[in-house]
Amino acid sequence: MFEFSVETTSGAARAGTLTLPHGTVETPAFMPVGTQGTVRALSPLDLKAIGASLVLANTYHLHVRPGEDTIAKLGGLHRFMAWDGPLLTDSGGFQVFSLEGLRIVDEDGVQFQSHVDGARRRLTPERAIEIQWTLGADVAMAFDHVAAGRVDEPTSRDALERTLRWLERSAIRHRALSAGTPGRQTLWPILQGGTRAELRRASLDGTLALGDWSGIAIGGLSVGEAKPEMYATLDHLSPRLPAALPRYLMGVGFPEDLVAAVERGVDLFDCVAPTRNGRNGSAFTDDGVVNIRNAAWKDDASPLDPACDCETCTRYSRGYLRHLFVAGELLGLRLLSLHNVRYLIRLAGALRRAVRDGTLNSWAADWRLRYLKPEAV
């Protein structure tokens, strides 16, 4: 039920197939982020229509509201959110970074002050695994300690070493839960170590020593470091990662980063950028980012992106989309979010075809000439 095969390579880039209990994912692939059991402004029918194959949800947020027991009573996370395809749940480790002012980290776990009601909540590696098991995702992530991108070496080392200790505890608890029902859920570890090569090597070596994994995630990037530092970290890691495992770069999903990471051997991505940017009026296109609020589009009858097959681009004009945002209409938020997620799914598909055709280098060079041109508005 948890299989990955690399079908074609082009340099470090790969095209493959990931098989999970609820379906098959062709890689490279972008997974929309449904933090609270929903991808903001989009329905599961929307996700199916635009070709989403794997969706992410967040352990911490669903634990806080409505609670994993409530979700279990309503049939588990797949039924709860009416999504019958593969699901991956983040462990809550990212909230160690993003909720810095509302948490205290110790060796046993993390105490959070809930952003919803102020109540104290505690996550340990074991508790994070138990919650994900109750939710019923296809892929559960180990509980990790995420440090900001520019922290000093001792802080980064401390976070990665704690992540390894927590990984061992996560694995023990997951094995105990899955002993009676193998094939229901798999556990993936997360590499930490910031942008320091020696720390990333230590994280990888320690992770591989702790088990035989069905996938591996790269965490702790896109958390404050410069893009060239992120790319250099991937350059260092790529030849050292097990070729047989799918590689998941967590929290990364701007178009230029997705292209660069696929070139460096990454298979899976998630990010809130497409829906967040869409709600703010920014649209991804092959000709760069379009600010739909721009007055230049007031009388423009052309589609947002003529190359795109989504509902937004096949039915509505730039002039109409601008009107929706100027008027504060909710439909505008949905339509640009829909387009941006579809754009990243299409981009991953184009990268997959280029890898299979052996044209990745020329395809990526041509794409960058268009996307990164300075006159994008």
Active-site positions read 90, 270
Instruction: Residue 282: count other Cβ atoms within 10 Å of its Cβ.
Output: 17
Measure the CA–CA gap between 166 and 371, rounded to whole angstroms: 41
- Report the SS3 class of residue 104: strand
Both tokens of residue 321?
A: 């989309």
Residue indicated by tokens 């109750």: 134
Both tokens of residue 102?
A: 């509302």
Please report which residue ranges of the chain form alpha helices under DSSP H: 44-49, 59-64, 68-73, 77-80, 94-98, 125-135, 153-178, 197-209, 227-237, 255-263, 273-279, 311-315, 318-326, 330-357, 360-371
Measure the CA–CA gap between 152 and 132, rounded to whole angstroms: 32
User: In sequence order, what are the beta bridge partners of 169?
Assistant: none
How do 110-113 and 120-123 pair as beta strands? antiparallel
For residue 142, the 8-state DSSP code is: P
Torsion sign across C-alpha atoms 172, 174, 177, 178? negative
Measure the CA–CA gap between 60 and 86, rounded to whole angstroms: 19
Q: In which element (H, E) is residue 270 found?
A: strand 268-270
* Torsion region of 123: left, alpha or beta (phi above 0 gives left; psi -120 to 50 gives alpha): beta
Query: Helix crossing, 330-357 with 255-263: angle to 10°?
Result: 20
Residue indicated by tokens 């892929």: 139
Please, are residues 319 and 297 in contact by the beta-carbon 8 Å criterion?
yes
